[in-house]
Structure 1
Amino acid sequence: MATEHTGEYGGLAQVEGDAAPDSAETASAMEFPGCDPVPMTWEDVWAYDGRIEYWDRASSTAQVLRDAGPVHESPPHVLSEILTRISQERGSRIRCYGAVYLMERDGAGRPRRVMVADQTIYLRPGRWKPSDPAIIRDEDPLPDVILEEDHTTDVRRNKLGLYESWGFPEVWVETPDTPAPSRPRRLRPGLTIYRLDEGRFRVSAESRAFPGWPAARIHASLNETHMSPRTLADLTRVGRRLGRQEGTTPDDDPQIGRHRRQAHGTGLRAGRAEGIAAQRALLGRLASRKFDPATAERLAEILAGVDDAGLLAEVGGRIIDCDDGAALLADVLMHRAPAEPFRPSTVAGSRTPPGIALDRPRAIDASDEEDRFGRRGS
């Protein structure tokens, strides 16, 4: 007989003792607090719309959940949302199949025993998908994680032994913070992780399936009204760690990867625009120190429509080498010959460094085309 004691992370944990009994022995000793026994055939079970915790052909009895309210049903859905964020950080999908049938068949292939968990999680769904209508013992790969919500029930008195004997690798048992008058007296809020170790369940401080995610933090995330910054940090850390194991990154997630690429492009454009604006401002300050205020102001107006960093650099060189403001403005506005160096104007005092061109190879009609500085010819 296994020894029971209160687990560090909430509830009761079966952690030491003799080998777990087989499924038949476990089934005969099971109790289902929070459930009502209802006579049902398999056909009845298959057609039933309510929430069944367990069904056994030998007794033709289903254990129907008595209080399947929002507090009981919320954590599995919250967990699904949380795991979506982890999968995005990992860069590959995690599937939550919900309350699917976990079935054991008899020798004739008929359903012999059926359990229903609150959430079933597969970390690598691309390699396998559940059968229809159930996950079949000894035929289908078992979920990486099972979640059982003990709001008014106590899985330790019934299905946990079966999960162990079937070889489920990891079971999470969550008792929510919200109290319930009908909750079994021995239960207290918290999440207990049971990890299979040499055929026996042992309580673990953190998940094996999600390395680095402690039971206490999982419980906190399932009971938050709004996702906290700490939970978001947990999900990012766990997802990135899984990604390193898989060789994937958030860029491999279609949605996150697209958002990151868009953000990168937006950042580049914004950075370039800021650089151009800073370059214009620098040219304006340079001109104001060398020429009169009217010339500096007029040059700033001309350059306001220029977004070519190379062209602005050429203008900067012209400011340095030109000694006359009128000549500078004339050169900037008038000398637009394609593929030719920036020629000196006829205004006295103008000097032009060799090899500077302020135009690209294109024809321009100064009377009705905008010049390359965004101004129309007169």
Structure 2
Amino acid sequence: MSYTVALNFEDGVSRFIECNDGETVLDAAYRHKVNLPMDCSDGVCGTCKCHCHQGEFELGDEYIDEALSDEEAAEGMVLTCQMVPSSDCVVQVPVASSLCKTGVDRRQATITRIEQLSEDSIEVEIDIEGEGFSFLPGQYVHLEVPGKGAHRSYSFSSRPGSSRASFLIRNVPGGLMSGYLTGQAKPGDQLAVTGPMGSFYLREITRPVLMLAGGTGLAPFLSMLEQLAETGCEMPLHLIYGVNRDDHLVKTAALDAFAERLPTFSYTTVVVDEASDHPRKGYVTQHMDAEVMHGGDVDVYLCGPPPMVDAVLKHFDAQGIKPQSFHYEKFTPNQASEEAA
């Protein structure tokens, strides 16, 4: 038996390793040619100290308090030289990937489908070459614009674990990637994929979850819901999906299907346009009622353009709302995402 361990480095790069039954994370990383920080490998120096965000593991009792205190262990800190996983895990490594003599994965991919879902959004599917391109639901990659020497960053909308990946991409007039996809790209074309990256990803669910999506910021939530539909979830899940105009609402059939597969999942849509006949107009902050906030006992995930992210942050502050955890990602059309854990 083996377990997948996601190593998330402080520069945003993620590497995935397979840890054999009874094997320490440090040994598994070295076996995958990832040189995690270490000096003694005996639980004495504390050099290999990291933070386990989720997953089950054993540390044993062969390390000393000076290397890892009881208080640190209670907060999820681990020594990778002592950590033996008993499930899939996510480990935050407090150094850059380059210092561990590793780096971001780069592969070739083939476009299999391009569909313009609305004036505002394009869905793209690609087949990624090689074995197992792993990522955490919510993470993103760089997609290279062929022939331009430039890339754009997009979150996966597909479930982890498949060689076929999908993305929901905003159609930006005059945009480099948008221009390529709408005017030149066709199935069979090749492009480079670099990643995965990002600290915006689905954590272990132990309480109700509120998802807030703006426009093509819906993409990472589709990936998360795909994962949850596979694993199941007993906690309430609610998504508020906001767009500027009626015709910008996309993938609602997919959301309906998730509601069928996940009995605890529900969603509402909101349209900004005052001329819309949509039953809920305005901004997502105007439709976050007490029921979905669960008295603050809720984990909030937010992905959308910077004005939306800033508005939600101000709304929480003004209302004195303090969710148990708050994870957000804001994006602009022509640059990498900005995240907060």
TM range (shorter): under 0.3
TM-score under structure 1 normalisation? 0.20
- Larger proportion of strand: 2
TM-score under structure 2 normalisation? 0.22
- Larger proportion of helix: 1
